[in-house]
């Protein structure tokens, strides 16, 4: 019986692929997400992300402000089946001001699809995201989008990506021209030509197999000039790259590359078919105690995202759990390590953006939504009794600070609740000035403040003014000498605050002030990140 359960469990793990789609804003990430969902039968019609004429929106953009601005500001979780595989897809914000949400999401996935705009090439946010992937050796597949627009030369683009992102590429498909002359892609792996058609169904229509590119049929289909160029390109590519070594992709050394047009659903099927063949199944994870192996029978998992008011009508708050080992079961008691309590969940959910479905069980690799009454923070770990935390989910030092001024004293309770819940989500960090009640919000980018102000008003009825405060950096303070820390806090009280968990923070006015204090106080440590679960 045990062996039978074990086999069933291992088969469930092998069926799962959990990945994130990342990109610079406007590269076509949300559009690509929708096409994946169409292939998986999870949705019937793609949303028009920025169209004002059609009242359909991108499935993964569920917050009202996202619909108004036409950008993704929160990570969405979607599950769908394709070719007997269960795919957990996390669509991340592209905007740099929401990078921290994306960084945390990357801790919950096993691989990444990186979307690059063929017109603009590598952009700033793309570099930042790839740095996080490289830190974790996360396997990456690159999708070069918008080939139906006039963009950069394809060889120049590959060179730019390799140089800028410090990753070796391996083309899996190759484009025939671009812009108005774009005729399709040649699949280097299965030696087939896929002819471009706008708004393709991706059903395999327009696919012509070529065992040998010297076949004169190629000249008839795409013309002598393009056929000659394709033969030359493919010969060069075969000589430089050869066949893909899967182990190099899985270790994060090489990124397979596909070309296409997400808005036209072209080149997406080739990407998805290759993804389910080569992308990693759920992987082992590091904890504060020991490595947790994915095949272990006992359940463990961690919270990587919290979202309040996923459905504004019901004021719900959902904690997103990544299952790392064992089996998560509905109504079973699990150990909440930080609060040292056993908890159970009567209605755990799987997601298709805003649509929720109650699940009875989930396996390693799955993402489950847990209804939360305020017990969870990002980084919390659930186990079947062991006391450890999954590592590598940092809280970053903010770069912009604003004081929260309550414009309606009658709504003070609503404001307190809103600030608490929004900062639990990781949208921003909340600091309370030492010895007073001044509330300070710290963010990575300006747009986050706009989202916070909007959500406080529309979800909690709290109207606030956000005033700039000239701080440069927030540093968490620790010291082996409590007396010296106490003296420092007393002398610098106007620059001291506490974070949500009561940890002491020094708010530096400038880099010079920070360096001076670090030099003058060698017994105090100034930390730029704080491990969230501590």
CATH number for the domain spanning 523: value is 3.30.70.3280
Q: What does DSSP assign to residue 137? A: T
For residues 302 and 381, the answer to whether their CB atoms sit within 8 Å is yes
Q: What is the pLDDT of residue 394?
A: 62
Q: Give me the mean pLDDT over the 242-252 stretch.
A: 94
Q: Is residue 288 part of a domain?
A: no
> Is the same domain home to 329 and 194?
no
Q: Tell me, what CATH number does 198's domain have?
A: 3.40.50.300
> Is the same domain home to 192 and 212?
yes
Q: What is the pLDDT of residue 72?
A: 38
> Is the same domain home to 411 and 496?
yes
Q: Is residue 60 part of a domain?
A: yes
Is 99 a residue whose pLDDT tops 80? no
In the block, tokens 């899967």 appear at 246
Collapsing DSSP states into helix, strand and coil, what is residue 314? coil
Q: Give me the mean pLDDT over the 264-271 stretch.
A: 92
> Is the same domain home to 130 and 263?
yes
What pLDDT, in 10s, does the model give residues 107-154? Answer: 899 999 999 999 999 987 788 778 778 877 899 999 999 999 998 899
Confidence of residue 201 (pLDDT cuts 50, 70, 90): low
What pLDDT, in 10s, does the model give residues 515-534? Answer: 999 999 999 999 887 754 44
User: CA-to-CA distance for 293 and 325, rounded, in angstroms?
Assistant: 7
Residue that terminates a domain, selected from 352, 383, 414: 383
Q: Is residue 86 part of a domain?
A: no
> Is the same domain home to 452 and 333?
no
Would you call 518 exposed, middle or buried from its count of C-beta atoms within 10 A (0-12, 13-18, 19+)? middle
Mean pLDDT for all residues in the chain = 84
User: CA-to-CA distance for 427 and 447, rounded, in angstroms?
Assistant: 11
> Is the same domain home to 338 and 482?
no
Would you call 357 exposed, middle or buried from its count of C-beta atoms within 10 A (0-12, 13-18, 19+)? exposed
> Is the same domain home to 249 and 160?
yes
Residue that terminates a domain, selected from 343, 362, 383: 383
Beta-strand relationship, 254-259 and 168-171: parallel
* Statement: the pTM of the whole predicted model exceeds 0.85: no
Q: Give me the mean pLDDT over the 504-508 stretch.
A: 94
Confidence of residue 311 (pLDDT cuts 50, 70, 90): low
Residue that terminates a domain, selected from 361, 383, 405: 383
Q: Is residue 97 part of a domain?
A: no
Q: What are the beta bridge partners of residue 8?
A: none
> Is the same domain home to 53 and 145?
yes
Confidence of residue 395 (pLDDT cuts 50, 70, 90): low
Q: What is the pLDDT of residue 183?
A: 92
- Total tally of structural domains belonging to the chain: 3
Q: Give me the mean pLDDT over the 361-369 stretch.
A: 92
Q: Is residue 44 part of a domain?
A: yes
What pLDDT, in 10s, does the model give residues 33-89? Answer: 888 888 877 665 554 333 333 233 444 444 454 445 443 334 467 888 899 898 988
Which of 391, 253, 368, 383 lies closest to 16, judged by CA? 368
User: CA-to-CA distance for 525 and 478, rounded, in angstroms?
Assistant: 5
- Reported as type and span, the H/E element at residue 308 is strand 300-308
Q: Is residue 5 part of a domain?
A: no
Range of the domain at 509: 394-531
Q: Give me the mean pLDDT over the 375-402 stretch.
A: 86
Return the higher-pLDDT residue of 425 and 139: 139
Confidence of residue 93 (pLDDT cuts 50, 70, 90): low
Q: Is residue 6 part of a domain?
A: no
> Is the same domain home to 237 and 118?
yes
In the block, tokens 């120049």 appear at 156
Q: What is the per-residue DSSP string for 395-423?
A: EEPPSEEEEEEES-GGGHHHHHHHHHHHH
Backbone φ, ψ for residue 205 (5° rounding): -65, 145
Q: Is residue 179 part of a domain?
A: yes
User: CA-to-CA distance for 157 and 142, rounded, in angstroms?
Assistant: 12
> Is the same domain home to 433 and 360?
no
User: CA-to-CA distance for 276 and 294, rounded, in angstroms?
Assistant: 19
For residues 324 and 390, the answer to whether their CB atoms sit within 8 Å is yes
> Is the same domain home to 379 and 411?
no
Confidence of residue 316 (pLDDT cuts 50, 70, 90): low
Q: pLDDT exceeding 70 applies to what percent of the chain?
A: 85
> Is the same domain home to 404 and 527?
yes
Would you call 146 exposed, middle or buried from its count of C-beta atoms within 10 A (0-12, 13-18, 19+)? buried
Helix count (H) and strand count (E) of the chain?
A: 14, 31
Radius of gyration for the chain, computed over Cα atoms and rounded to the nearest angstrom = 25
Q: Give me the mean pLDDT over the 294-303 stretch.
A: 94
Q: Tell me, what CATH number does 363's domain have?
A: 2.40.30.10
């Amino acid at each position: 019986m045990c062996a039978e359960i074990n086999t069933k469990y291992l088969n469930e793990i092998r069926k799962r692929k959990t990945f994130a789609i990342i990109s610079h804003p406007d590269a076509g990430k949300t559009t690509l997400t929708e096409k994946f969902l169409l292939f998986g039968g999870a949705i019937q019609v793609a949303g028009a992300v920025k169209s004002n004429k059609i009242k359909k929106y991108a499935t993964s953009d569920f917050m009202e402000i996202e619909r108004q601005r036409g950008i993704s500001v929160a990570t969405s979780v979607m599950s769908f089946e394709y070719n007997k595989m269960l795919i957990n897809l996390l669509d991340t914000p592209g905007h740099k001001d929401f990078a921290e949400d994306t960084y945390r999401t990357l801790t919950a996935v096993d691989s990444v699809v990186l979307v690059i705009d063929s017109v603009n090439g590598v952009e700033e946010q793309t570099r930042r995201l790839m740095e996080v992937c490289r830190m974790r050796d996360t396997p990456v597949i690159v999708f070069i989008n918008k080939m139906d627009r006039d963009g950069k030369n394809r060889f120049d683009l590959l060179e730019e990506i390799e140089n800028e992102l410090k990753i070796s590429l391996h083309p899996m498909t190759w484009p025939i021209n671009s812009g108005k002359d774009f005729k399709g892609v040649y699949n280097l792996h299965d030696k087939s030509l896929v002819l471009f058609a706008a708004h393709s169904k991706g059903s395999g229509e327009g696919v012509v197999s070529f065992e040998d590119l010297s076949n004169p049929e190629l000249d008839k289909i795409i013309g002598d000039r393009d056929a000659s160029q394709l033969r030359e390109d493919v010969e060069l590519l075969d000589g430089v790259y050869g066949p893909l070594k899967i182990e190099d992709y899985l270790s994060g050394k090489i990124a397979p590359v596909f070309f296409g047009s997400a808005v036209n659903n072209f080149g997406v099927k080739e990407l998805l078919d290759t993804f389910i063949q080569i992308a990693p199944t759920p992987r082992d994870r590091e904890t504060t105690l020991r490595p947790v192996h994915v095949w272990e029978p006992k359940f463990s998992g961690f919270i990587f995202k919290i979202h309040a008011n996923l459905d504004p009508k019901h004021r719900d708050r959902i904690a997103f759990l990544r299952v790392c080992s064992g089996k998560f079961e509905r109504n079973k008691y699990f150990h909440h390590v930080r609060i040292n309590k056993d908890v159970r969940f009567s209605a755990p959910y799987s997601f298709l953006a805003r649509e929720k479905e109650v699940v009875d069980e989930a396996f390693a690799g799955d993402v489950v939504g847990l209804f939360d009454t305020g017990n969870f923070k990002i980084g919390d770990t659930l186990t079947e009794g062991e006391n450890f935390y999954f590592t590598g989910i940092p809280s970053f030092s903010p770069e912009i600070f604003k004081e929260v001024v309550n414009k309606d004293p009658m709504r003070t309770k609503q404001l307190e609740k809103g600030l608490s819940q929004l900062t639990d989500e990781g949208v921003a960090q909340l600091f309370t000035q030492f010895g007073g009640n001044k509330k300070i919000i710290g963010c990575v980018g300006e747009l986050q403040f706009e989202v916070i102000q909007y959500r406080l008003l529309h979800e909690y009825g709290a109207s606030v003014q956000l005033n700039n405060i000239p701080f440069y950096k927030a540093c968490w303070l620790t010291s082996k000498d409590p007396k010296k820390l106490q003296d420092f806090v007393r002398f610098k009280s106007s620059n001291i605050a506490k974070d949500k968990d009561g940890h002491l923070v020094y708010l530096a006015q400038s880099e010079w002030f920070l360096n001076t204090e670090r030099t003058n106080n060698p017994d105090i440590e100034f930390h730029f990140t704080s491990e969230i679960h501590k």
